[in-house]
Structure 1
Amino acid sequence: MFESLSDRLLESFKNLKGEGSITELNVADTVKDIRKALLEADVNYTVASDFTKSVLDKAVGEKVVSSIKPGQKLVQIVHDELTRCMGGSEVELRTDADPNIILMSGLQGSGKTTFAGKLANMLHKKKGLKPLLVAGDVYRPAAIEQLKVIAAQIGIPVYSEEGNQDPVAIAERALAFAKMNGRDTIIIDTAGRLAVDDVLMTEIANIKAAVRPTQILFVVDSMTGQDAVNTAKEFNDRLDFDGVVLTKLDGDTRGGAALSIRTVVDKPILFIGTGEKMEAIDVFYPTRMADRILGMGDVVSLVERMEQQYDEKKAAQLESKIRKNKFDFDDFLDQIQQIKKMGNLKDLLAMIPGVGSAIKDLDVDDSAFSGIEAIIRSMTPEERANPDIINAERRKRIAAGSGKDIQEVNRLIKQFNSAKKMMKKMSSLGLNGKGAPSMAQMRQQMRGGR
């Protein structure tokens, strides 16, 4: 995401010349480039103009120490302004009410139903809450069935009334059902339209009046660009929602919505959707998003995603196997599965500082692991547990069974052996003789470095 905007901004910084201080003269062209880059990324015109004016006001006259260049100083100023523009700091979803009633709103196709499932999954796994999903979209074909399929994947119950065309009554009875069944969080999915209309607005306003939600979330497809901002304003004028959810940020989005919505409607962005999987939901952190836009990566989010898949007991067992040089292909395959659960591979790599720009033209996706998995699954249990027994004859059989060339099998085994040696070496270094730092320690260290 934001590849085009990132490229344009970084290129504009390179053109800044001058020594000692930043003046209106030497920064003028750079600020023009920044403004143009924002507009091309579909940022609201007024927001883009105010943004560049603020950057210019803060930059002009700024002293530049000898150890950095004017362009580097401007990057810092733009980073701070991007962070401010997107809200400054993260805003948490309220979870203290009982019952906690969350009303979803947005246009058809924005991703409300899928996000309702992701949110329920996150609140259950991370907060220990007991959500109930409510099927309030009574018009779209198969909407109720879609919610039920999603709910089955994450083990969350759904309240629905087949054939009932009154979403207000459904929402009211869902509250009673939740109370009787010990559900403390009610997430109400609602109908959308292809465009904002009075029928849609009146209906969702009636649901709001009937159930008095703790909070209303506006879900918007970030790929709609400037239209997303206009729609957000119309919904906010009628509903006075509490926060925004940006979906499909893993797609070919220009980023304008993320930079504009916060300013235009004065409501925080709470979450972003970064893929189709139920785990592909992140809290929106303005500082981290500014890091990504400026090509600085996002190591904290990467560590947090790792932590979500981190099992201390399994990690201890794995470390023990590595120390004893017993790491095998079953362990290797398990690590691949853990990485795949973390989300889109290209998105993960882009969180590493400096890697995002290097891989922007590469086609990297989850299928990158398919060949490796096929080779490993073509090995016998004995071969996976004892890689050293894989001789030339066995390699031929594995290649034939996986549909891969013998060269690919040889390459994987060579890479595996190299990785195994490296892991043993790193493990032997340890941390004060007590092993590698935990994910929680890594995350705390990263945050402390901000």
Structure 2
Amino acid sequence: MSLKTSNRFSTANIKKRRVSSGLSELDTLLGDLYIGDNVLWYDDMGSFSAAFSHCFIRETLARKKPLIYVTFDRSPKNVVSFLGTLAESQNLTILDCFTNGKGDSSEVFNKFYEKDGALWPYKVIKVNNPTSAAHVAEAMYGVHSNLAGDVHFIIDSLTGMQSLWGGEEQVIEFYVKTCPRLYELDTIAYWLVEKGAHSSRLKANINKIAQVVIDLSVRRGNAVLKILKAEKRSSQYINEHHCYSCEGSTIIFENQRSEKNRFDLGARIKSTRLMRGLSQKELAALTGVTPSTISQVEKNLIYPSLPALFRIGESLSVEVATLLKDTDRDRDSCVYASASRSSISLAKSLKGYVSGELLLPPDLEAPADVTMLRLLPGKKIAGHFFAHKGREMGYLITGQVELIMGNQTYQMNAGDMVYLEKDMPIGWQNLSEQSAELLWLTFKQ
């Protein structure tokens, strides 16, 4: 008996369809992405893979392709904030595995679903029992079945699954079953993974099944991408290190810029330290290292570990991404777009009470740091926003706040200003039912 293979099912006759990552340079390095790919993104902290995911989401929605964002680690409100206006696209569905998962069905997170009769611009589906891998799979395929064409996925994250499901075996089983099915359904999926949270056994198992595996890290002070696997494509860049930086809402690879524009991490840390009025000894004490270490880092004789880099950023009140971001190209500009702003890193005691962003690049030679501070409704904090020695000035844009100076209490209304010579407030409180916005100037010494 002779066996005939139908051309319809012959893999040789299936033409692979290209998909862009949203970054032309990454497409070149990979030898393109294709429908059917499961792409693993290994990251230390999650902040770098989020930037690449954002580019992919933007590209997908611009091409009017459906995308399902499966979130285990971010609340729906956090996802909406992360995506900005992209979250309002009707081609985006957020599958919420957080609220009844890590969120523990808390009223705080469930408030997101209270629409108060307003027009709801987001497509968000809450999974009732995300602690069950079967329920999560059912929800994913249920949403997929109602969509047409190539469906793209962001799964954030495999690490969140393991934390929720209580072990690696459940994660491996889910991944082993899901990847082939997503491949057959003509999808492409980004799987985000915190690489330090998993065993070598798990990583070996999932790497074997994935079509593309990418590692993100910080190496000698530079953000680095390395392609570990790019199955069935002719990429010549496997296992090579490729430096990049985040600039606004996009990512620029080092070979896309000229040599003269490459930034110096040590110089960036030094200039930001001096602008904060800190000595090397003071920064060392805040960071938990020796003054000699800070000196060597600023001279690029040694490079800080990732945890040390995050501590340095926190001590300097800047995000690590800001220290890694190249702002030299903006030096001839007198306008600084809102999209290029960097979040500030405030003291841990202020998290959940105050947020802020720098309105100017931190290494700009301006006489003052200009920050937009937002004190959440009804919140009260002990102490001040910054540990600053010198003059400060604040203008209250919206809301009503109270500040305490020694034994005196002062009330500020929208339009009022405060000027501080050297003494710092010992407390702040937002008296209004909305976020109080303060335009804050910290003068450099």
Same fold (TM > 0.5): no
Query: Taking CA–CA contacts closer than 8 Å with sequence separation of 6 or more, which of the two structures ends up with the larger relative contact order?
Result: 1
Specify the structure having the higher radius of gyration (Cα).
1
Q: Where on the TM-score scale, by shorter chain, does this alignment land: which range? A: 0.3 to 0.5
User: TM-score by structure 2 length?
Assistant: 0.36
User: TM-score by structure 1 length?
Assistant: 0.36
More strand by share: 2
